[in-house]
Amino acid sequence: MKVSVSIQLRLNHFRYVVPGPDAVRMNQNRLKIGELEVHRLGFGAMRLTGYRPAADRSDAIRVARRAVELGVDFVDTADAYGVGANEELLAEALHPYDGVLIATKVGHTRPSPREWAPCGRPEYLRQATELSLRRLRVERIDLLQLHRVDPAVPYADQLAALAGLVAEGKVRHIGLSEVSVEQLVEARRFVDVVSVQNRYNLTDRKHEAVLDYCTAEGIAFVPWVPIAHGEHAGSQLLGMIAAELGATAAQLSLAWLLHRSPVMLPIPGTSSLEHLEENVAAAALELTPDHLARLAALSAVG
């Protein structure tokens, strides 16, 4: 059995866990990103196109629209996803967006399906942003994230380029991806950083210090690969707790993230309507202190 989405379920009804003597219950369901506000469970659009989109995009468009119907109002994409096709697909599916925050990323190229390469030259970041504006059919990007810090380009130059795009009105807010606490602190000297997108999940907690910093500073933390893969994803303990809740292991992994911090904004991605509804339903899971204590055994990785 798994937690399902009913016709009444919408993200504006979910609750996040606050430590308490009995069951831990959700009482905050929204997160501020700058002056914008979104629900704390988003959608990662990368899988809608992969490296190259399918000739028939109708299924992918259907999934994107269904996410919004279910209450998702934060959608993550990047100029490198489908070499721009992902942004174009979202525009076709969701423009003019109507309250949906489209967050995109620049600064990470994908020459081949297995190859990624950072590119943080200021002129490239500007050009990539201009192309994203065109593909998304907007005059200003609500959230532009530096996909990767390019070690071959002075960090200050990359940050100055982003700050310039904000000053020109082409970008509303800036976020970073795969950064350390030190890099985040340095970036905030140049520009207001409202989000950080680092790899993080139940058992991959390498960026615990970054999450703690974001929590203290009120910066949205957007974990990519929020549902763990590998041996731990199918562990006996995870399956046992999920069964107790009438949920799947994936749903439990997402619920744990929502319990971990009030600035957490998971972006599970899928190209399946069934998995989409399963992921959204994870927001309704309530974890007790006992559940969290038992899951701690899986969390000591990283």
CB 196 within 8 A of CB 214: yes
DSSP H or E segment with residue 31: strand 30-33
Rounded to whole angstroms, the Cα distance separating 84 from 14 reads: 33
List C-alpha distances in Å: 265 to 24, 193, 254, 287.
19, 15, 10, 17
By CB atoms closer than 10 A (0-12, 13-18, 19+), residue 89 is buried
Instruction: Return the SS3 of 27.
Output: coil
Instruction: Return the SS3 of 140.
Output: coil
By CB atoms closer than 10 A (0-12, 13-18, 19+), residue 57 is middle
Amino acid (1-letter code) at residue 30: R
C-alpha count within 13 angstroms, C-beta hemisphere, residue 84: 11
Catalytic site residue from 16, 51, 81, 213: 81
- Helix axis angle, 273-281 to 249-260, nearest 10°: 40
By DSSP bridging, strand 220-221 and strand 193-197 are parallel
Annotation marks residue 81 as catalytic: yes
**Of 104, 189, 120, nearest to 158 (Cα)?**
120
- Give me the active site residues, please: 81
